[in-house]
Amino acid sequence: MCGIAGQVGADASTIEKQHTVYCAMQQSMGRRGPDQSGMYICGNAALLHARLCVVDVENGRQPMQLSQGKRGYVLVYNGELYNTGELREELRGAGHRFTGHSDTEVLLHAYAQWGEACVEKLNGIFAFAVWEKHTKRLFLARDRMGVKPLFYARRGQNLIFASELKTLLCHPAIRPQLDAGGRAEVLLLGPGRTPGCGVFRGVQELLPGHCGYYTLGTAALATRCYWRLQDHEHPDSFPRTVARVRELVADAITRQLVSDVPVCTFLTGGLDSSIISAVADGQFHAAGKALKTMSVGYRGNKEFFKASKFQPNADAPYIRTMNAALHAEHSWITLDTPQLVQALYAAVDARDLPGMADVDSSLLLFCKAVKPMATVALSGECADEIFGGYPWYRDKTIREKYGFPWAQSTAYRVSFLRAEALQGIDPEAYLDERYRDTLGKTSILPGRDATETRMRQMMNLNLRWFMQTLLDRKDRMSMYSGLEVRVPFCDYRIAEYLYATPWDYKDYGGREKGLLREAMRGLLPEEVLWRKKSPYPKTWNPAYLAAVASALQQVIADPAAPLLQLVKKDALETLLAAGAENPTPWYGQLMTTPQTIAYFLQLNYWLEKYRVELV
């Protein structure tokens, strides 16, 4: 993967004078793209790139330019295309010629051939910008599922864009200002975000499945939605559906193994990562190669693990079972409490916002340890959103409850907040507006019964909200160490097919992701295939709670701590006194008391490190 950024503006002299600014922006992307960097600065446009080399090291350099008669294009691109070969052949048939085998070159020619319609032909994860020299307009696009990020801001006669918020904030025109809307995002929704919201004042994120043009002198980026999930009648019987799911999943995984650098898979012993590892292992073994599989664990978990409704058993036995079934070379990476606590702050640096606490920091440390052994990894995120694996899909009480099922803690959150923090915000109305808006944008065929209607609402809610939080986490924590993590279950073809699949198919056998399990019979050991869902592994060591509690106690002992501008000290003291007994999660299933405390630590660090201005 890579980092992209740039600026286009009506006044060319302004662009020409900001070379130092662009150098700072490019340097801020160094972790995303540690291998190569490049700039295009000419006239009304500056395009910046930092590259992580994965395919065609020599011929994939960016910014990449193409001239066709009087037409000229400049591309900066972050992502991977998984149908590069098919596109290249189609473009060759239209008269295009290529100098290398990079997907970057194919993408640039695709845009030259089809213009904005090229996005509808792409299978991959991407965010890219094309400057049309002949028309003096900028085209921006983002992949269908939102795997790759793209933020932007309009300032005066300029549009400024970047892969990450930190890069935008390097530009003097963009200040880290937090208005009422930004406070609501961080305090009421965080670590989630409203789709399209960049949290800082005047900063937006291009929505998944959207693209648009910015023409010099216009008031805004003119965007359009080129893809969304559409309900339709499911065409297949259950046996045919099982076969089709197996085909789609295997094809998505196989396509995403293409790389000129070492590839590995993350293996938790759960269903999703085990499927990816098994398919990848088969491909590698057939080619006479050994796949590398990577697992993360925590010091003390064997001693302190406690089974719960959401995490009924430990991962290690299932990882060992998978290892015995594969031909892979396996590596265990064990994290300790002091590392997790210290990495909370690096995780904020990576995400540019308070995040999922140690759920973030553990992944950041895991990716850092994986990087010396591989440059590309495949991971199992997003299967639960598509196949209905979360408890809120299957528990009727939770499923039918009004509001975001992973964020039922608004009153709890408000109890922490100072009156000043809530000025201009109606918490319930803020969340309700976003919830209703998402339901209103859910495609549902007339005549659907209540269950099928709700399941489409749930899938749309999860893809637009919860999955985006996990994709933010995956992208930022991995790219912080220059590791490219691919997510095969985010293949849009799987999402399209599963959206209209009847719920009783997905819930086959009364099991979460029953359809996926049935589709993968014979691929996995039976005990792994039918293992009850278990979330991303986290530490169970009580030393972690003690460590973050001690750190927060030190923070709130300082009257000047920026956290105390937004959060009541006495509420934090009550949280600390409750210890592990507090049953209310901050977000989702994993952010319980230790993670709530850690979220406040991250919030304090973020306010201070980013010099956030409350406006």
- Only one residue has tokens 């590839």, namely 263
Is 222 in contact with 214 (CB distance < 8 Å)? Answer: yes
Concerning whether 53 is annotated as a catalytic residue, the answer is: no
Whether the pLDDT of residue 309 is over 70: the answer is: no
Q: Provide Rg for the chain, Cα atoms.
A: 24
Lookup: tokens for 438 = 């998402």
DSSP-derived secondary structure for 208-257: TTEEEEEETT-SS-EEEE------------HHHHHHHHHHHHHHHHHHTT
**HSE of 500, CA atoms in CB hemisphere, 13 A:** 17
The DSSP-derived string for 386-430 is HHT-SHHHH-HHHHTSSS-TT---HHHHHTTB-TTTTTT--HHHH
CA distances for 13 relative to 8, 18, 152, 347, 613, angstroms: 11, 9, 21, 38, 30
CB 292 within 8 A of CB 262: yes
Are the CB atoms for 380 and 266 separated by under 8 Å?
A: yes
Please tell me the predicted confidence (pLDDT) of residue 56: 64
Average pLDDT, the chain: 94
Burial of 147 (0-12, 13-18, 19+ CB in 10 A): buried
- Alpha-carbon distance of 364 to 371, in angstroms, equals 11
pTM (2 d.p.)? 0.96
CA atoms within 13 A on the CB side of 520: 26
Asked if residue 304 lies in contact with residue 298, where contact means CB atoms within 8 angstroms, the answer is no
Quote the percentage of the chain above a pLDDT of 70: 99
pLDDT greater than 90 at residue 221: yes
Domains assigned to the chain: 2-225 (3.60.20.10), 238-529 (3.40.50.620)
Residues 472 and 464: their CA atoms lie apart, in Å, by 12
Q: Are 612 and 176 in contact (CB under 8 A)?
A: yes
- Give the residue among 483, 363, 466 at the shortest CA–CA distance from 145: 466
Phi, psi for 129 (deg, rounded to 5): -135, 135
pLDDT, residue 310, reads 66
The pLDDT confidence band at residue 35, using thresholds 50, 70 and 90, is: confident
Residue 1 confidence (pLDDT) above 70? no
Of 134, 141, 76, nearest in space to 108 by CA: 76
Q: What's 308's DSSP letter? A: -
Report the relative pairing of strands 203-205 and 151-155 from DSSP bridges.
antiparallel
Phi, psi of 292 (to 5 degrees): -100, 130
Mean local confidence (pLDDT), 327-334: 96
pLDDT, tens only, 580-599: 777 788 998 778 899 999 99
Structure tokens at 424: 């201009």
What tens digit of pLDDT does each residue of 137-189 get?
A: 999 999 999 999 999 999 988 999 999 999 999 999 999 999 999 999 999 99
Per the CB < 8 A criterion, the answer to whether 102 and 55 are in contact is yes
**Token pair 């992208």: residue:** 475
pLDDT digits (tens, 9 = 90+) for 473-522: 999 999 999 999 999 999 999 999 999 999 999 999 999 999 999 999 99
Percent of the chain with pLDDT over 90: 85
Q: 377 falls in which pLDDT band (50, 70, 90)?
A: very high
